[in-house]
Amino acid sequence: MADFSFFSKFLFPELCFGCRADLDDSRVLCSDCFARIGKFRTLFCGKCRARLPLARKICHRDFPYILGAATSYGNEVVKKLIYSLKFKSLSSAAEPLTKILCDYSEGIFSDINIKKFTVVPVPLAPSRLKERGFNQSEIIAGGLARHFKLELNKNVLIRTRETKPQSEQNHFESRFENVRGCFLAKKEMLTGTKGIVLIDDVTTSGATFLEASTALKEAGVRRIIALSVAMA
């Protein structure tokens, strides 16, 4: 499709997603509205979502990942940013989302030694990638990897089959059923990595993170921190 962004910018100057103020640059959120987005301060147990103020005291130790979520999907501005990025291909929405995740991660990483961890985005189903043209988790993962100077690997985790969108699964159980066994991790790409920082934009049931983490564990990864910008 032709790029009409110049004309749309000319005809419809960008308004802040939060307060509707005029923004004279390519941002979609003003600094005040960005600062108002509440962020969590802890990691969570992936299984029961108990807050883990200390990353060492984990309640469900056998669960394959520890969950990190920067903010709540209940936040309307965050929801709008994610929706615009994914379904309207508004790339400028990726910047505040990445920054929210980086700001949150500054806090939680101070407690964990993430040196030699590799950042891995959750891959999109091939049909969705074709339709959307980009993987929003990959953009966010790239920004996070640059910020923390970590290696980014977009190819280690692959989808082995098509799945339906998780957002169309209305029941908790069908979300797990939909993605069961859909990932494969390439073991040969994981030598030397101490752990994985797995990135997705939103986590709801945790089914996608669980499947992706299970595949990574099967390939020999010992520690997985699954990070999402928002938690529903």
**Chain residues in the site for Zn ion (CB under 5 A):** 16, 18-19, 30, 33, 45, 47-48, 50, 59-60
Phi, psi of 109 (to 5 degrees): -75, -15
Closest distance of CB 154 from Zn ion, Å: 30
Nearer Cβ to Zn ion (18/142): 18
53 touches 66 (CB < 8 A)? no
Closest distance of CB 49 from Zn ion, Å: 7
Mapping DSSP onto H, E and C, the string for 4-45 reads CHHHHHHHCCCECCCCCCECCCCCCCCHHHHHHCCCCCCEEE
Nearer Cβ to Zn ion (47/99): 47
203 touches 166 (CB < 8 A)? no
Nearer Cβ to Zn ion (50/102): 50
Tokens standing for 179?
């993605």
Closest distance of CB 50 from Zn ion, Å: 5
> By beta-carbon distance, which residue lies closest to Zn ion?
45
Strands 117-121 and 151-152: parallel
Closest distance of CB 33 from Zn ion, Å: 3
Closest distance of CB 35 from Zn ion, Å: 10
Nearer Cβ to Zn ion (18/123): 18
Nearer Cβ to Zn ion (55/158): 55
